Amino acid sequence: MIAKDKQILIVTAVEAEKEAILKGLHNTNNIHVIAAGVGPSSAAANTTRAICSSKYDVVISMGIGGGFADVVEVGSIVIANEIIAADLGVETAEGFCRLDELGFGSTLLKVDINLMNKVYQALKTTELIVHIGPILTLSTVTGTSETALKLTNRIKGAAVEAMEGFGVATAAHELNIPFLEIRSISNPVGPRDREAWRMKEAFEGLTKTSTILQEVFN
């Protein structure tokens, strides 16, 4: 259990994710959910605004995400151990060069491992399939097998890609607030096939996960 009266901020990209999460929360007033927009910039700006206008003890980036084949399956839940800005860098003749390799800042943020484990253990008591692994933040949704392969070759163990985690985490990190990222997998990363996205299943995963988060944080 986490100490009572902790204030938790959950940041989604869109309203549909927010609604799915609110559906799983009952009789709680210490968990606040905002839809901050799609992509890392909106996520960072709106998370910063929320953190600066109210006191929060934990910030969670949460929503649907794409799962890397053979690592995580559609319908499962993934908790990040690392949040990686996967396209923050420079393209060179030799390949991609990370921004931190050039001496500018960081492209990797580590989550609060104690919190991550608490949430993982709690989710493991349910029928949900739960994984822990690196979650990538990209400004462009991957749409080909080639790009998916390049990412998994470059980032060992990459489990998920989404578009907001690094923005949310950067805001929390800069303001010294522990953060997590949790994704409900709606689609495999790879060739764009929007019809195949399992949105209903992924939103149900968000609802079930938020019910468990309420137990962990109350």
Ligand X SMILES: O=C(O)c1cccc(C(=O)CC[C@H]2O[C@@H](n3cnc4c(=O)[nH]cnc43)[C@H](O)[C@@H]2O)c1
Contacting positions for ligand X (CB under 6 A): 13, 38, 63-66, 138, 141-142, 161-164, 186-187, 189, 194
**What is the smallest separation between the CB atom of 204 and ligand X, expressed in angstroms?**
15
Tokens at residue 114, please? 């104690």
| Backbone phi and psi for residue 172, each to the nearest 5 degrees, phi listed first | -65, -45
Find the shortest distance in angstroms from Cβ 155 to ligand X. 14
Name the residue number minimizing CB distance to ligand X: 66
Tell me whether residue 6 or residue 198 sits nearer to ligand X (CB atom): 198
> Residues with Cβ < 8 Å from 181, sequence gap 6 or more?
60, 61, 62, 79, 80, 83, 111, 135, 162, 165, 168, 169
Distance of closest approach, residue 90 Cβ to ligand X, in angstroms: 21
CB of 107 to ligand X, least distance (A): 17
Which of residues 25 and 189 has its CB atom nearest to ligand X in the complex?
189
Smaller CB separation from ligand X, 174 or 193: 193
**In this structure, are residues 80 and 111 in contact, taking their beta carbons and an 8 Å threshold?**
yes
- Closer to ligand X by CB, 66 or 134: give it: 66
46-76 CB burial, b ≥16 within 10 A, e <16: bbbebbeeeebebbbbbbbbbbbeebbebbb
Distance CA 90, CA 99 (A): 7
Nearer to ligand X, 5 or 195 (CB): 195
Task: Count other C-beta atoms under 10 Å from residue 26's C-beta.
Answer: 9
In whole angstroms, the minimum distance from the beta carbon of 26 to ligand X comes to 25
